[in-house]
């Protein structure tokens, strides 16, 4: 994987990590978090696909939450008291 000038990964590289089931689930979850902060249309499709197809619950949950934050359906996570 190559990095940009600032040392960050491009969106297409993060999508590739997210959708590659051979990657450790922790790397896929980190990719979800990083993709959520990017403002690129292709990330929505990748997050949706991961939220439906990833075999690890934590990756699916994070992808769905990130997708909901990006689409405005979820403003922020509220911890119940």
Domain spans of the chain?
11-71
The C-alpha torsion from 48 through 23 and 29 to 11, rounded to 10°, is -60
pLDDT tens, position by position, 23-70: 999 999 999 999 888 877 778 899 999 999 999 999 999 999 998 888
pLDDT for residue 20:
94
pLDDT for residue 2:
46
Q: What is the pTM of this model?
A: 0.75
């Amino acid at each position: 994987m190559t990095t940009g000038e600032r040392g960050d990964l491009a969106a297409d590289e993060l999508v590739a990590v997210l959708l590659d089931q051979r990657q450790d689930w922790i790397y896929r979850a980190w990719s979800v978090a990083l993709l959520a902060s990017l403002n690129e249309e292709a990330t929505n499709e990748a997050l949706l696909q991961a939220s439906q197809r990833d075999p690890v619950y934590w990756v699916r949950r994070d992808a769905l939450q990130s997708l909901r934050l990006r689409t405005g359906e979820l403003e922020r996570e509220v911890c119940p008291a």
